[in-house]
Each structure stands twice: as C-alpha cells, then as structure tokens.
Amino acid sequence: MEGTVAHWALVLQGTEQTKRAAAAEKLAQCSLPLAPAMVALVQAAGDRDDGIRMWAAEALETAGRPAASDALRLAAFLTTAPIGADGESAYWAAKVLGRLGPAAAPATSALATALKESPYLAVREQAAAALGRIGPAASAAGSVLREAAAGGPPRLVRLAISALESIRGMAA
Amino acid sequence: MFWFRKRSRSTKSRLPLTRFIGPGATIAGLLALLGFGVTKGVDFSKLDSGVAQVKSQLEAPRPAPAVLTSNKPTDRIRIASFNIQVFGDKKASDNNVMGVLANICSHFDVVAIQEIKTPDARSLDRLVERINAGGGRYAGIVSPSLGRTSQTEQYGFIWDTTRIRNVPNTTYVVNDAEDRMHREPMASTFETAVPPASGRDGFKFTLINVHTDPDEVKTKGPDNELNVLDDVYLSIREFEYARQGEDDIFLLGDLNSGYGKLFELGAIPGLESVTGDQPTNTVGNKQHDHFLVDRSTTTEFTGAAGVIDFVADFGLTLEQAKLVSDHRPIWAEFSAYEQPAFTAVAARPTGNGR
C-alpha cells in the first residue's frame, strides 16, 4: 500500500505534521488519479500548516473528479466549517463538487447554504458554479441563485445567472 | 474591459504596487547551429558540460554549475516560459533543485516564471542569486500575489542583463475589474542590447505571462479564461502599440490546455503556439504550456522553438525531476535585431499552433 494514493491520503490524515506535509507534496507530484485522496486533500487545504495547505491546494488544482460516493462527505465541508476556518476547505469542496457535474446533486442543499451564508466570496462563487454544473437536478437552489443573480460582485452574478440557465436546461 | 495597473516588484527595488496607466480598449548559438527546430527537444549535453555535475548534485550538494552565457549567440535571443511548481521557500532552499533551475534558466535570455509562492520576491531573488553565483548577471521582477483565495501565486520575469534590458514603466498586471480571471496576467516589455556599431535597433517585445485556472478552461462560455485571454492579448497589443509602437506581443505560460484547444485565444488570426503539440508536463504525456507568437508581425521569430526535456537532458530520475517541477520549460528563438513587420514571414515550423 505504501506509495499509493490511498497510503498518502492516510498519512495526510495522521497527526505528524512533517509526514503530513510530505504526503501532501507526494500527492501533488503524483500522476495517478487522486479521487481516493480527495476528501483528505480538501480537509488539508484548510490546515493551519502553510506547507500542508499549499501542497494540498496544488494537488487539488489538477486532481480531477472526486468519487461520486464522496459527494456528501465533501458537502460537509460547506456547512460544518470549524471555528477559525478561513474558507479554503469549503472553497475546494465546492470546486471539486463542481467537477462531478450532475453526480453532485446530493450536495445541492449544502451548496445552496454555502452560496447564501458563506462569508467568503470565493466560496459563494464556487458554490454557484457547482450548482450550475449540477444542472436541472439543482433546481431546489433556484431561489438562492436568483438572489445572488440580483446583484453583487460581478463574477458571482455571472455565475448565478449561468447556473439558473443551466438548471432551466439552457446551455451555459 | 481591461485596464492595466502597475503591480510589480523588482527583486531589488519595488515599483509602485498600484498605478493605473490608462485604459486598454481594453526569450544557443549551439542550439541553432545544431538546427533544433520546433519538433525537437534541447540536448543540454550539447550545450553544457556541467550536466553530469548537475545530476550528481541531486545526490550530493555541489557548487553551482558554470553558467554558459558566453555560448549565447550575439545575433539571436531565446525566451522561455517555466512553471516552477510551488516555487516557495522549501524549493528555494533546496540546493540541488536550485542548481537545476539555475542551470536551465541560465541558457535563456528572458524567462517568464509561473507559480511563485512566496509573499515577496525572495524565491526569485534566490534563483537570480544562484544564477549570478555561477557567473551570470541576471535580474528579476515579480508581480504581487494573485488569486481568489489564500493560496495566491506570483508571476516573475528574469533576464540576462548583459543582453536584455527591461524597458522602464512597462510592467503591469492586467486590471480585471470584472474578475474574469483567477490570476490576472502580468505584462512587461524588454529590449535586446545590441552593439552601437551594428547600426541597428535592438529587438523590443512585450511578454504576457499567464497561468490559467485548470477548472476555467474546459467549458464553453464567456468565463472560460481562454475566451478572456484573447481580449487580454488584443487589448495589450492595442495598448502597447498606441503608447510605444510595440507590435511584438507574446503570450506565454501555463494555459492548462492542449494543442488545438485554446478556444477564442486560438482563434486570433496569425497567433500560433510555436512549440507545437509537444507535451509540456514532466511526465511527458500532456500539454499545458504554450508560447504564442503572431508570425505575421513578429518576423524576428527564427522558427526555432521547443520544449526542454530536463528529465532526459539532465539524466534525472522522474522522482528527482518532480522535485524541480511538474512542468517542462518551453522556449522560442528570435533575432536580436528589430525587423520590420510584414516584409517576410519566417519559415513555418512543422504543424500549426492552434
């Protein structure tokens, strides 16, 4: 198992900071699919250790799609941020959920909550983008998206409008 | 759509971080002698007797390899782009990795760097110091930290001051008021230093340094960053032509997209990705990086361009190479002398850049 994505994911979730940082770096340098490590990486993206955060974010940037079966575990980062969290884990959770497309439908409610309540613009934007990529199955988020589309930061407005069009079945 | 703001920091002196300069309606002599073209890599063993040193450096630290500035041709320059993955304190403190980076960069006259991950210029400073410790005379400049979250990045340029000068007051980060890009591009203008006795003007060019968000280059729509970068390119071209008569504008960097998948950016007439469809990741199976040149205006392009396979050229293992970067550097070669546009088009390399 040592040297596999699953192994480095386990180390990343461990308690030794040096080993965790090395695991995040290994995952960022890995050319294998990172789905088995996605939840661990999203959690690590919000770590207090700068090195762990940096390499986790680097790994996530090109990690590809998470497993559809992890949608709800990823959604949990959107609604249960620990005290002192800076939104980085929530940002990445929304971003990788967006990569799932319609398969992220089980996370619609959490994404809508993040869009409405997150204090972080980048999280709200990624939540809107993810809802748009879910498409019609995210119709329950329509009212929150309309609210976001009504006015605010330009990118958030664009993403909300695009998501509403996508939910209506119109091409984005 | 775009305005340009001065947001760059010299590795030695800081420029104003924010300065609006008006609306824009918006880098072998042996190399060429060996005849490397667009479809070929650079065999550094042909260029650098210090390659074996570099390999052993990865096994045990040694002094910096000699810099082969004396081997650069007088009539041509080479410009490179290099995404140095997570170029932060850890990498900048690694003597072995820095030896490889310095060696690679020292073969080029200008290098556009992406993914600098320190809140100031110190990573780039260390790279410049390492190159100069080997006999080079390089300088550098970095952008402010850019990004939408706490994980920000800087762009940077380094250049060989014995051959290139950075034109004053030409460095800026595109002002993206509508937040169309995760990391707004950084632009800067350079000029070759040519001997007065030549009676000719040095080649002046503007580089647009780019690192796209991989999630924002895949789908159709106005927010696809590749559908924004065409506007950025055209705006900068118009702006630079208006203010300094500059028509040699190159967009280079990590576009996270393959050959033929550049969306609206790839639809700009004449603009070609001159390194062709060669893979640019270190593993060697994907293309992310591009060097875009409008060959109708840049007659200075010699037709020589390529991707540096530093894994093979330095004799590294893949694991060693990954400590350097997950990207290979890309490069293109130009005349050191300004030439009039539209008179002739340089020989077209194999393939079409879009």
For residue B78, give the nearest of B47, B41, B104, B111 by alpha carbon: B111
Classify residue A60 by burial, with Cβ atoms within 10 Å: 0-12, 13-18, 19+: buried
Task: Give the model's pLDDT for residue A171.
Answer: 57
Span B222-242, mean pLDDT?
A: 96
CA of A143, closest CA in chain B: separation in Å? Answer: 23
Identify the domain containing residue B139 by its residue range.
Answer: 3-335
Copy the structure tokens of residue B240. Answer: 């630079």
Pairing of strands B110-116, B76-87: parallel
Who contacts A104 (Cβ-Cβ below 8 Å, separation ≥6)? A68, A71, A97, A98, A111, A130, A133, A134
The C-alpha atoms of residue A120 and residue A50 are separated, in whole angstroms, by: 19
Asked if residue B226 belongs to a domain, the reply is: yes
In this structure, of A99-103, B43-47, B213-217, the range with the lowest mean pLDDT score is B43-47
Task: Give the model's pLDDT for residue B340.
Answer: 80
Give whole-number Cα distances, B70 to B30, B77, B197, B214, in Å: 11, 13, 20, 39
CA of B350, closest CA in chain A: separation in Å? Answer: 29
How many folded domains does chain B comprise? 1
Asked if residue B340 belongs to a domain, the reply is: no
Asked if residue B314 belongs to a domain, the reply is: yes
Instruction: Assess whether pLDDT exceeds 60 at residue B80.
Output: yes
Task: Give the model's pLDDT for residue B19.
Answer: 25
The one-letter amino acid code at B9 reads R
Give whole-number Cα distances, B91 to B117, B149, B311, in Å: 10, 22, 17
Instruction: Assess whether pLDDT exceeds 70 at residue B163.
Output: yes
Give the SS3 label for residue B22: strand
Which of B85, B94, B149 to mutate to probe the A interface, most A CBs <10 Å?
B149
- In degrees, rounded to 5, the angle at the alpha carbon of residue B205 between the alpha carbons of residues B203 and B207 is 150
Greater confidence, B143 or B223? B143
A20 close to B (CB below 8 A)? no
Classify residue B78 by burial, with Cβ atoms within 10 Å: 0-12, 13-18, 19+: buried
Over residues B268-314, the pLDDT tens digits come to 999 999 999 999 999 999 999 999 999 999 999 999 999 999 999 99
Which of A62, A95, A161 to mutate to probe the B interface, most B CBs <10 Å?
A62
Over residues A104-118, the pLDDT tens digits come to 999 999 999 999 999
Copy the structure tokens of residue B201. Answer: 């003007």
**Chain-centre distance for alpha carbon B203:** 16
Q: What is the CATH number of the domain that holds B77?
A: 3.60.10.10
A91 close to B (CB below 8 A)? yes
CA of A164, closest CA in chain B: separation in Å? Answer: 14
CA of A109, closest CA in chain B: separation in Å? Answer: 22
Asked if residue B351 belongs to a domain, the reply is: no
Of B85, B90, B283, the CB nearest to A31: B283
B145-157 burial: b if 16+ Cβ within 10 Å, else e: bbbbbbbbbbbbb
pLDDT band at B28 (very low <50, low <70, confident <90, very high): very low
At B190, which helix (H) or strand (E)?
strand B186-192
B90 close to A (CB below 8 A)? yes
Task: Give the model's pLDDT for residue A80.
Answer: 74
Whether A58 sits inside 8 A of B283 (CB atoms) is no
Copy the structure tokens of residue B1. Answer: 């759509």
Which of A27, A41, A155, A161 to mutate to probe the B interface, most B CBs <10 Å?
A155
Copy the structure tokens of residue B302. Answer: 């010699």
Copy the structure tokens of residue A170. Answer: 């119109």
Asked if residue B352 belongs to a domain, the reply is: no
Instruction: Assess whether pLDDT exceeds 90 at residue A1.
Output: no
Classify residue A80 by burial, with Cβ atoms within 10 Å: 0-12, 13-18, 19+: exposed
CA torsion, ordered B85, B88, B92, B97, to nearest 10 deg = -20
Asked if residue B128 belongs to a domain, the reply is: yes
- 3-state DSSP: chain B helix, strand, coil percent, rounded to 5? 25, 25, 45
Over residues B177-196, the pLDDT tens digits come to 999 999 999 999 999 999 99
Whether B221 sits inside 8 A of A172 (CB atoms) is yes
Q: Average model confidence (pLDDT) for chain B? A: 82
The C-alpha atoms of residue B119 and residue B88 are separated, in whole angstroms, by: 9
pTM value > 0.90? no
Whether A62 sits inside 8 A of B88 (CB atoms) is no
**CB atoms inside a 10 Å sphere around CB B191:** 18
The C-alpha atoms of residue A46 and residue A93 are separated, in whole angstroms, by: 11
The one-letter amino acid code at B129 reads E
pLDDT band at B71 (very low <50, low <70, confident <90, very high): confident
Instruction: Assess whether pLDDT exceeds 60 at residue B148.
Output: yes
Asked if residue B353 belongs to a domain, the reply is: no
Whether A155 sits inside 8 A of B214 (CB atoms) is no
Which of B1, B2, B151 to mutate to probe the A interface, most A CBs <10 Å?
B151
A172 close to B (CB below 8 A)? yes
Percent of chain B exceeding pLDDT 90 equals: 73
The C-alpha atoms of residue B107 and residue B44 are separated, in whole angstroms, by: 9
CA of A121, closest CA in chain B: separation in Å? Answer: 9
Of B149, B179, B223, the CB nearest to A88: B149
Span B10-29, mean pLDDT?
A: 30
The C-alpha atoms of residue B47 and residue B97 are separated, in whole angstroms, by: 20
Task: Give the model's pLDDT for residue B354.
Answer: 44
Percent of chain A exceeding pLDDT 90 equals: 89
For residue B232, give the nearest of B206, B258, B256, B203 by alpha carbon: B206
In this structure, of A2-6, A80-84, B43-47, B324-328, the range with the lowest mean pLDDT score is B43-47
The C-alpha atoms of residue B249 and residue B203 are separated, in whole angstroms, by: 12
CA of A145, closest CA in chain B: separation in Å? Answer: 18
pLDDT band at B69 (very low <50, low <70, confident <90, very high): very low
Contacts of B256 in chain A (CB under 8 A): 62
Over residues A62-115, the pLDDT tens digits come to 999 999 999 999 999 998 766 666 799 999 999 999 999 999 999 999 999 999
Of A29, A54, A158, the CB nearest to B151: A54
